[in-house]
């Protein structure tokens, strides 16, 4: 107890101890994906029956990132995402509308565990897409293999835990999510359990070997009770000053209802991005997926080839422009699907 006229003793921190900074902070950033796309195939048909090649300018993403810290161990993120109205109805205008892509609170566990450990609650990144996009930085051209095929989503509502291994030997990210992605509400009581483990076996070896990582991922979900919706992934990735590359293998199992058979599929994606010190970078990617292993030769393939220029900046902002070809083929599908061929110029601003 303090008494009037009696000075209190000042307690100073122990030598060498720096108390954590608990000053509340907030930051605002932006992400823009824009493109001009020319479609060589399939062609469109106008109201007069004329054939044409669809083309146009698009904005496929416009984020406003609001991030901040309440204390040194309590953080948050809110990110609205832009999307085009696509539902059917007489009042649809095709307008660009905002929806929530990320909205989560994060409790950092750095005081008790390795740096980078945390618990997240809310609409957040999913374990595998978040990891692979940290290496494959061309989402502004299009989504990664597992998301483009419709088997995973980059964001979902849930509760997750992440921790890093000591000395940068890898990490683990595990969580329970709704399972249908951030753009859809949870339709029943079936939740998705997702876990990703990544090992960097040569973390303390020569620099050229440190970029090698081995990743395993498993997603256990159900469409409805006892009707499986499973995804398994094994990936080998490599990061270097002059080259990023990866091989991803995907295995899927789906049974929408008991009235239909269980469908098993698998596929792979191979990509590499050689780069120079001048900002020029190439993208070479090939995806292959067989949606039903019980049907021979039913498969879809995608080839992406592009060249990009990454502008040089001070600090964290990144900007790039890219010219690319994106083509897909569909073999033995019923009904048959036409080949897809597109040429585009893409632009990225990430601030």
Q: Each residue of 211-251: pLDDT tens digit?
A: 999 999 999 999 998 899 999 999 999 999 999 999 999 99
Tokens for 322, please give them. 């890219």
What is the mean predicted confidence (pLDDT) over 260-283?
A: 95
pLDDT confidence tier of residue 65, bands split at 50, 70 and 90:
very high
Residue 84 to residues 32, 96, 101, 244, Cα–Cα distance (Å): 15, 5, 14, 32
Helix (H) or strand (E) holding 133: helix 127-133
CATH topology of domain 25-350: Porin (2.40.160)
Confidence (pLDDT) at 93: 63
Confidence (pLDDT) at 163: 97
Residue written as token pair 């990703």? 196
Strand, helix or coil for residue 206:
coil
What mean pLDDT, rounded, does the chain reach?
90
The whole-model pTM stands at: 0.89
Dihedrals phi, psi of 147, to nearest 5 degrees: -80, -40
* Listed residue (199, 260, 185, 193) closest to 222, CA to CA: 193
Confidence (pLDDT) at 84: 75
């Amino acid at each position: 107890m303090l008494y009037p006229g009696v000075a209190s003793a000042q307690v100073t921190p122990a030598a060498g101890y720096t108390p954590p900074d608990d000053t509340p902070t907030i930051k605002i950033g932006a992400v823009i994906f824009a493109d001009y796309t020319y479609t060589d195939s399939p062609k469109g048909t106008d109201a007069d029956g004329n054939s044409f090649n669809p083309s146009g300018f698009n904005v496929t993403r416009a984020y406003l990132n609001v991030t901040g810290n309440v204390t040194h161990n309590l953080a948050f993120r809110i990110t609205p995402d832009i999307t085009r109205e696509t539902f059917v109805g007489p009042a649809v205008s095709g307008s660009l509308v905002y929806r929530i892509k990320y909205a989560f609170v994060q409790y950092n566990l750095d005081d008790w565990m390795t740096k980078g450990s945390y618990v997240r609650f809310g609409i957040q990144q999913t374990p595998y897409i978040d990891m692979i996009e940290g290496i494959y930085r061309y989402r502004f051209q299009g989504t990664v293999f597992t998301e483009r095929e419709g088997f995973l989503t980059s964001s979902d509502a849930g509760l997750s835990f992440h921790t890093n291994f000591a000395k940068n030997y890898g990490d683990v990210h595990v969580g329970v999510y709704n399972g249908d992605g951030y753009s859809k509400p949870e339709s029943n009581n079936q939740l998705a359990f997702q876990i990703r483990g990544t090992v960097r076996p040569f973390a303390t070896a020569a620099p050229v070997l440190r970029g090698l990582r081995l990743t395993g991922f498993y997603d256990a979900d159900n469409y409805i009770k006892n009707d499986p919706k499973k995804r398994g992934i094994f990936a080998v990735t490599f990061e270097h000053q002059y080259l990023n590359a990866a091989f991803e293998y995907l295995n899927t199992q789906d049974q929408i209802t008991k009235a239909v058979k269980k469908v098993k599929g698998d596929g792979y994606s191979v990509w590499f991005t050689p780069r120079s010190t001048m900002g020029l970078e190439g993208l070479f990617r090939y995806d292959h997926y067989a949606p039903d292993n019980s049907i021979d030769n039913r498969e879809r393939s995608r080839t992406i080839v592009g060249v990009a220029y990454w502008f040089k900046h001070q600090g964290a902002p990144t900007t790039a422009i890219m010219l690319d070809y994106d083509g897909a083929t569909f073999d033995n599908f019923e009904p048959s699907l036409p080949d897809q061929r597109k040429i585009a110029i893409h632009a990225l601003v990430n601030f």
